[in-house]
Amino acid sequence: MQKYLDSYKQMISLRGLTDHTIKSYCTYLRAYLNYLETILHKLPEDASWEDLRSFILYIQQQRNLADRTVNACISQLRFFTLYVLHKSWDPYQLPIRKFDTYLPFVPTKEEVATFISSMPDLKEKAMVSLLYSAGLRIGEVCHLKYKDIDRKSMRIHISHGKNRSDRYAILSSQALHILTEYWFAYDKPMDWLFPKQFKESDKPIDTFFLSRRIMTHEDRLGWEHRITCHSFRHAFGTHLYENGTDLLTIKALLGHKSLNSTVIYVSLASNGVRRAVSPFDCMGGSANA
């Protein structure tokens, strides 16, 4: 089955995807190939639509997958069928699932201030400060280099973000102060701003480093586990909108490809949907007459 996986990797690499994305895309295809080999005892080209459906049901039950994740798995199977097996794909045989959409948790300005100010470690504090003050993704923070911090123009150069495009983000004066403290305390890193610990200092720090530290700090504060690295990015966008920043500017700062990704902050902002007044309340007492 390894030859099928290798062919799949080769085909998706032709799309110019990053190594991290390629690894993510292979996750459920590897599980599918293993399912065919160990349970169905079939080669991929001999698998039927019934076999594909049985795998989706199997992996959902085994791993308790959310509907979004199931859809990602189906997309991987579709790509494999089309570009590796060179067979047609019938969306009516294995349809994409509908899923519920939930608003993400967004900490208040007071909660963000409390969280950051009480962090005891300067590295963790500097990383969270950048997540919130510039609305960065955790991967973008981990891959920052010393040269990306433009103190003169007070901006941060984000190289090849999620949408494979460069952009400039805000460099907050408060975040710069914390970052400067960290830089001096951690041996003045001149390449990766947050290098990997121990012997691999020539590589950027792993993204899971901060995720674990955030959970630890929630425990320290006695808070329930609701905050993730991405919560600070959502807080940045939400608080900008609450402060009167227009959506196009927020879109540019966050590096969103589509404005559809940005309009969520209208719903998340405390003065967004709540600002609207029901027409029924504008009628005064006439409706009660």
Catalytic residues: 137, 162, 230, 233, 256, 265
* CA distance to 114, 235, 242, 275, 282, per residue, from 270 (Å): 19, 11, 7, 8, 21
Q: How far apart are CA 134 and CA 141, in angstroms?
A: 10
Report d(CA 179, CA 176) in Å as an integer.
5
C-alpha closest to that of 135 among 254, 246, 250, 267: 254
Residue partners of 235: CB distance under 8 A and separation at least 6: 106, 107, 109, 112, 132
CB 161 within 8 A of CB 140: yes
Structure tokens at 4: 């099928």
Secondary structure (3-state) at 37? helix
DSSP secondary structure letter of residue 168: E
Q: For residue 130, give the nearest of 247, 210, 15, 189 by alpha carbon.
A: 210
